[in-house]
Amino acid sequence: MSANLLLEAGQVSKRFPLPGGAGEFTVLDRLDLALGEGEIVALLGKSGSGKSTLLRILAGLIPPTEGAVRYRGRPVTGPCPGVAMVFQSFALLPWLDVLGNVELGLKARGVPPGLRRDKALRMIDVIGLDGFESAYPRELSGGMRQRVGIARALAVEPDVLLMDEPFSALDVLTAESLRGELMDLWAGRKIPTRAILLVTHNIEEAVLLADRVVILGNDPGHVRADLRIELPRPRSREDPDVQAFADELYQLLTRPEAAGEAGAAVRAAPQPLPHARVGALAGFLEIVAERGGRVDLHRLAGALHLEVRELLPLVDAAALLGFATVREGDASLSPGGRAFVEAPGLARKELFRRALEERPSLVTRIHAALQGKANRRLSESFFLGLFEQHWSAAEARRQLDTAIDWGRYAELFGFEDDTNELFIEPAGGLR
């Protein structure tokens, strides 16, 4: 990297208001990130860690609550002309054809119609959309739609390209070829872009593409690790060094953060539950058992054609319940986990319940709250209200759904659909 800084977030915090005016919750906490000329930086982090929010702040689309963004040393106070975004969802306007969509960014920057058209057509050509100028988004495959998204971003000739999981909605082969083409354009300097920040859930993608990997930690989002990848290019998946680096990243992502690692950022929020359904968790434990009780998580994700984000909640849930231990990127079944896998259905419930009862979690909190009420019933909105003090409404909902799934399976409490109430049966059990 040259010393030339293009885009810089300095001590950026972002808070969103909680619904109903009940205060705010913190998504990003005093985060520093710098993008230098010539760099590709991959941004990794669990879902909800604030990656998309950070990208929107860097692009000047939303302001930080505190801290500042600088582009070439100048403060960013609105949409930044040197910066363009590519979205996971493509974000195309269905009523505009390909040319119209590619012209959008230029139009927003006040480029006059003739020049706009020229620049858009040139980028359509570069990105391989030739012949599709007057097609509408609905007529295009996912891969072609994302080409439009990329052409629109590049048409404004941005210094900095911010890409938010640009390939994750595409099938594996389409993603691979689009990624390869984009890298050829970058390496061959066929696009004016001087730095790329790429959000991805795909660890291998990060190692193959990036000069640096930044890992965001959760609650609230902060930079947990910032690692330079010194491997020579071109890099290949089969290269042992690439695999070793990917393994290392996998370990970092699966290792729980040491208490205090987030420094003053740690809030007294309840530990969130990993979003794993009991059925999926049981399936995961069975797979680990089938493979001899110990798996390399990175390899397992590959073998199962799963993304990290799909596997991690299962791993986290298994660890939280004491059914597995995670060390150096390997998950091993614990004796408790093995007993669970080998137990018949009803006995599994019993083991699951004991595992939950032995350790404090959101599920035990809910159980305790229900026990503290004379009729042992509380409405879901009671819990949602509590959770929304710590999480967004959507995350509060997901936490409650997961807790209900676990609590129901363990027969610790039930949920009644018609009254939207959680309850404990007076007799103790549910049936």
Q: Which residues in this chain contact ligand ADP in the complex, by CB under 6 A?
A: 16, 27, 45, 47-53, 392, 394-395
Measured CA to CA, the distance from residue 40 to residue 178 in angstroms comes to: 16
Question: Quick one: CA dihedral 236, 241, 245, 247, positive or negative?
Answer: positive
Measured CA to CA, the distance from residue 20 to residue 69 in angstroms comes to: 30
Secondary structure of 353-399 in HEC code, one letter for each residue: HHHHHCCCCHHHHHHHHHHCCCCCEEEHHHHHHHHCCCCCHHHHHHH
Instruction: State the nearest-atom distance from the C-beta of 31 to ligand ADP, in Å.
Output: 12
394 interacts with, out of ligand ADP, Mg ion, none, CB within 5 to 8 A per kind: ligand ADP
> Where along the sequence are the contacts to Mg ion (CB under 5 A)?
51-52
Nearest residue to Mg ion, using CB? 52
Nearer to Mg ion, 168 or 334 (CB): 168
Nearer to ligand ADP, 50 or 337 (CB): 50
Instruction: State the nearest-atom distance from the C-beta of 362 to ligand ADP, in Å.
Output: 16
222 interacts with, out of Mg ion, ligand ADP, none, CB within 5 to 8 A per kind: none
47 interacts with, out of ligand ADP, Mg ion, none, CB within 5 to 8 A per kind: ligand ADP
Nearer to Mg ion, 51 or 224 (CB): 51
Tell me the residue ranges of DSSP E strands in 54-192: 66-71, 74-75, 83-86, 160-164
Nearer to ligand ADP, 352 or 387 (CB): 387
Instruction: State the nearest-atom distance from the C-beta of 31 to Mg ion, in Å.
Output: 15
Nearer to ligand ADP, 137 or 313 (CB): 313
Classify 422 as helix, strand or coil: strand
Q: Please choose, from the candidates 168, 111, 113, 106, the residue with its C-alpha nearest in 3D space to the C-alpha of residue 143.
A: 168
Instruction: State the nearest-atom distance from the C-beta of 169 to ligand ADP, in Å.
Output: 14
Nearer to Mg ion, 51 or 194 (CB): 51
Instruction: State the nearest-atom distance from the C-beta of 282 to ligand ADP, in Å.
Output: 26
Classify 411 as helix, strand or coil: coil
26 interacts with, out of ligand ADP, Mg ion, none, CB within 5 to 8 A per kind: none
Contacts 24+ apart (CB under 8 A), 299-307: 300/331, 302/204, 305/172, 307/168, 307/201, 307/202
Instruction: State the nearest-atom distance from the C-beta of 350 to ligand ADP, in Å.
Output: 35
Give the CA radius of gyration of the chain. 24
